């Protein structure tokens, strides 16, 4: 009788949980849209440009802080490579060369691929707008970096004076805890300048038509709360919940508050209705003044601008959306009742 033998190759890795994730990502073909869309003009010798992007991606998941760690975190771990469908790994300098060859067109292609991946696998894209509100948070995060990094410049970085770096702008689908998209800006760019491009990109990614925009709540910090910023969102049909940008206007608006109400959840914080009409906005707004007692005894003050109303818009700010009940309106919006 003929004898048949089956050769089995065993792979061992110290990143077993990540390897399991790699198997799942490979089965879902999450990297597929990148292979189809991103075309980097570089000749393939041992590895294609997309293979090298894949190696960089795996290394980031493995905790690498820089491409130099590809050699230690991934190249010496064939088990992890195999879990993601790679039979071998490119050397870190070769991966860096591929990234250096990327152009602005390649960046645009990657953004298109990421939009496709988000639409295929996210909960935010499948949100039921007829059933519930879709809440989007728009904000910026400072990323300190060295002088040789792209887009680096002096800028504001929390608790780090005289630092250089970049700003990462993000749009989050809050109820689903998903990053809809992110964009990189130079260190000087603030939310007031980045908000328009971020929201326009979010509209494309989420396919936000007029009906969906009317059921979308956009939350922005004071940096994106200027009159022009708010009016752009209102003219597009969004529901808005943000802080007023102008400190001088806040001082004037607080003088119109007749009754201050203590916040039962935060000691020392009070809220009250702004009585002055919001004539500067293209749609009706409600404005709520907030003041908190500082350690030095003075008041820290702000004004919330919101289209949300428990009675009018059918949104319960004290509870938040029906899906996550996270209290998106904060406790001070109890005055809406």
Backbone φ and ψ of 139, nearest 5°? -160, 170
Return the pLDDT at 178: 96
Report the 10 Å Cβ neighbour count for 221.
14
**Quick check: helix, strand or coil at residue 71?**
helix
Q: What is the pLDDT along the chain (337 residues), one digit of tens a residue?
A: 455 455 546 666 667 889 999 999 999 999 999 999 999 998 888 899 999 999 999 999 999 888 899 998 898 888 899 999 999 999 999 999 999 999 999 999 999 999 999 999 999 999 999 999 999 999 999 999 888 888 899 988 888 888 899 999 999 999 999 999 999 999 999 998 999 999 999 999 999 999 999 999 999 988 888 899 999 999 999 999 999 988 889 999 999 999 999 988 888 899 999 999 989 999 988 999 999 988 888 888 999 999 987 554 455 544 455 555 444 444 334 333 3
**Quick check: helix, strand or coil at residue 244?**
coil
> Residue 33: which H helix or E strand, with range?
helix 32-37
Fold adopted by 122-336: Transposase Inhibitor Protein From Tn5; Chain A, domain 1 (3.90.350)
Return the pLDDT at 222: 80
Return the pLDDT at 312: 46
Rounded Cα distance between 3 and 218, Å, is 68
Rounded Cα distance between 99 and 29, Å, is 22
Contacts of 268 (CB under 8 A, 6+ apart): 292, 293
Contacts of 322 (CB under 8 A, 6+ apart): 131, 132
Domain boundaries, the chain: 16-113, 122-336
Q: What is the pTM of this model?
A: 0.84
List, in sequence order, every residue forming a beta bridge with 136; answer none if it has no partner.
173, 218
**pLDDT tens, residue by residue, 104-135:** 999 999 999 999 999 999 999 999 999 999 99
Contacts of 315 (CB under 8 A, 6+ apart): 133, 217, 239, 308, 309, 329
Return the pLDDT at 117: 96
Residue 251 vs residues 245, 247, 322: alpha-carbon distances, Å: 12, 6, 35
Return the pLDDT at 324: 55
Q: At 189, list the tokens.
A: 């760019």
Residue 160 vs residues 95, 154, 168, 304: alpha-carbon distances, Å: 32, 11, 16, 28
Closest CA to 219 of 279, 112, 304: 304
Classify burial at 148, counting beta carbons within 10 Å of its beta carbon; exposed 0-12, middle 13-18, buried 19 or more: exposed
Return the pLDDT at 12: 62
List, in sequence order, every residue forming a beta bridge with 290; answer none if it has no partner.
271, 302
Is residue 103 left, alpha or beta, with left meaning phi > 0 and alpha meaning psi from -120 to 50? beta
Is residue 330 left, alpha or beta, with left meaning phi > 0 and alpha meaning psi from -120 to 50? left
CB 225 within 8 A of CB 203: no
Rounded Cα distance between 268 and 282, Å, is 34
Backbone φ and ψ of 282, nearest 5°? -80, -10
Rounded Cα distance between 173 and 134, Å, is 7
């Amino acid at each position: 009788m003929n004898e048949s033998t089956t050769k089995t190759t065993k792979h061992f890795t110290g990143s077993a949980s990540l390897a399991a994730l790699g198997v799942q990502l490979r089965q879902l073909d999450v990297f597929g849209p990148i292979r189809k869309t991103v075309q980097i003009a570089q000749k393939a010798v041992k590895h294609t440009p997309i293979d090298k992007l894949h190696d960089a991606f795996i290394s980031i998941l493995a905790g690498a802080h820089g491409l130099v760690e590809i050699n230690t975190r991934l190249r010496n771990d064939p088990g992890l490579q195999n879990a993601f469908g790679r039979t071998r790994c490119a050397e870190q300098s070769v991966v860096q060369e591929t990234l250096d060859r990327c152009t602005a067109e390649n960046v645009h292609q990657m953004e298109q691929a990421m939009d496709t991946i988000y639409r295929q696998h996210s909960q935010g894209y499948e949100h039921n707008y007829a059933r519930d509100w879709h809440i989007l948070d728009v904000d910026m995060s400072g990323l300190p970096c060295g002088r040789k990094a792209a887009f680096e410049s002096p800028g504001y970085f929390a608790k780090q004076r005289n630092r250089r770096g970049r700003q990462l702008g993000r749009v989050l689908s809050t109820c689903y805890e998903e990053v809809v998209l992110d964009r990189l800006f130079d260190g000087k760019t603030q939310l007031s300048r980045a908000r328009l491009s971020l929201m326009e990109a979010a509209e494309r990614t989420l396919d936000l038509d007029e009906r969906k925009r009317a059921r979308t709540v956009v939350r922005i910090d004071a940096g994106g709360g200027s009159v022009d910023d708010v009016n752009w969102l209102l003219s597009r049909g969004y529901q808005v919940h943000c802080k007023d940008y102008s400190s001088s206007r806040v001082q004037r608006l607080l003088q119109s508050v007749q009754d201050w109400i203590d916040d039962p959840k935060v000691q020392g914080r009070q809220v009250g209705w702004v009585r002055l009409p919001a004539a500067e906005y293209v749609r009706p707004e409600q404005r709520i003044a907030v003041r908190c007692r500082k350690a030095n005894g003075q008041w820290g003050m702000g004004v919330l601008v919101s289209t949300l109303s428990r009675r009018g818009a059918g949104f319960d700010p004290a509870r938040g959306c029906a899906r996550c009940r996270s209290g998106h309106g904060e406790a001070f919006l109890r005055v809406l009742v």
